[in-house]
């Protein structure tokens, strides 16, 4: 088995360290003793600008890179702005990977998304389902960009022998999530709408409520990323998830319990459902010794606590 301990004083660049995933990575890596983390806010470094990224790598000379930088959003954002989701993400990851190779980065972890898999892939979805069928139409532009990232990692490995890897997380949630409406993913969107409807008699669930989704807390993802940097070296992408899913109706009921909503529910079936089911096969990462530790109920409660502390900062 591949074994490559990452020195705790290594220069580790977390691209997108201010976002949902990047901030969890930063918290976790600090907590386990990393002393030389590198990060730049988007106002300091536009990752879409090739020369700016090259100049940053030339100056900072990171030894390890985790690419948690991306333009992300829920069904509404993906289906409304497909051109930006494709163009921005292609530029971000291409610039990072090209500069990493040019300036001798030892290990690069590219984080993609489970939306790279076909809409009707056999469940739970194995990594070898990639490119075996058509994508979900509501986020195909984002998915194509992330597939290109996987292909670039493989191409750099094949052509230059770099030890770069890619991982595909399932649906993520955690402190610092995006609660802006429209644009948020399903969990923060439902949580905010429900909190703001606490005195209402009926809560509207967008879509049929029957699609099934898997949710992974970002603290568990951060732990997985260090495991992969130290124990995984393969051209194939590797899934990160919990291997279990819930229906949207079940998720809404769980959020209602945490938030304290006691009204009734109705469905607006004019809203899109997206992929009918999406749960990942996580046998390969579990074989490396990683297991998720945060239960969905506890994770929702922790995110709601964060939401209550920060709700004044969200746009109305």
Half-sphere exposure of 11 (CA within 13 A, CB side): 12
- Which residue from 60, 144, 161 is spatially nearest to 101, judged by alpha carbons? 161
Binding residues: 16-22, 111-114, 146, 169-172, 185, 193, 213, 273
Only one residue has tokens 């879409």, namely 48
CA 35 distance to own-chain centroid:
24
Binding residues for NADP(+): 16-22, 111-114, 146, 169-172, 185
- Whether 142 is catalytic is yes
- According to DSSP, residue 312 is labeled G
Distance between CA 239 and CA 167 in Å, rounded? 6
Q: Which helix (H) or strand (E) holds 205?
A: strand 202-206
Of the candidates 142, 164, 261, 304, the residue annotated as catalytic is: 142
Q: What are the start-end ranges of the E strands in 153-196? A: 163-169, 171-173
Binding residues for substrate: 193, 213, 273
The long-range contacts involving 264-268, CB below 8 angstroms and separated by at least 24 positions, are 264/201, 264/202, 264/203, 265/202, 265/203, 265/204, 265/205, 266/202, 266/203, 266/204, 266/205, 267/204, 267/205, 267/206, 267/207, 267/208, 267/209, 268/204, 268/205, 268/206, 268/207
- Point out the residues that are catalytic: 142
């Amino acid at each position: 088995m591949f074994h490559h301990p990452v020195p705790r004083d290594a220069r580790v660049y977390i691209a997108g360290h201010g976002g949902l995933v990047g901030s969890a990575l930063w918290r976790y890596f600090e907590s386990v003793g990393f002393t030389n983390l590198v990060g730049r806010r988007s106002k300091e470094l536009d990752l879409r600008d090739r020369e700016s990224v090259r100049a940053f790598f030339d100056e900072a000379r990171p030894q390890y890179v985790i690419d948690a930088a991306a333009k992300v959003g829920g069904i509404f954002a993906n289906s409304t702005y497909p051109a930006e989701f494709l163009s921005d993400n292609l530029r971000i990851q291409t610039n990072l990977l090209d500069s990493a190779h040019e300036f001798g980065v030892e290990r690069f972890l590219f984080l993609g998304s489970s939306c790279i898999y076909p809409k009707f892939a056999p469940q739970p979805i194995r990594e070898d389902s990639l490119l075996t069928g058509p994508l979900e139409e509501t986020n195909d532009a984002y998915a194509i960009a992330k597939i290109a990232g996987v292909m670039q990692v493989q191409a750099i490995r094949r052509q230059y022998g770099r030890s770069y890897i890619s991982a595909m997380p399932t649906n993520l949630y955690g402190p610092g999530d995006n609660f802006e409406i429209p644009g948020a993913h399903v969990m923060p969107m439902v949580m905010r709408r429900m909190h703001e409807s606490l005195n209402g008699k009926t809560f509207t669930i967008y879509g049929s409520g029957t699609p099934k989704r898997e949710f992974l807390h970002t603290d568990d993802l951060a732990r997985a990323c260090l495991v992969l940097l130290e124990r995984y070296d393969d051209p194939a992408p590797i899934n990160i998830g919990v291997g279990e899913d819930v229906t949207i109706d079940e998720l809404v009921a769980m959020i209602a319990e945490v938030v304290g909503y006691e009204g009734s529910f109705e469905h607006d079936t004019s809203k899109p459902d997206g992929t009918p089911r999406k749960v990942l096969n996580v046998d390969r990462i579990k074989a490396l010794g990683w297991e998720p530790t945060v239960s969905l109920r506890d994770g929702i409660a922790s995110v709601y606590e964060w939401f209550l502390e920060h709700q004044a900062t969200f746009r109305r």
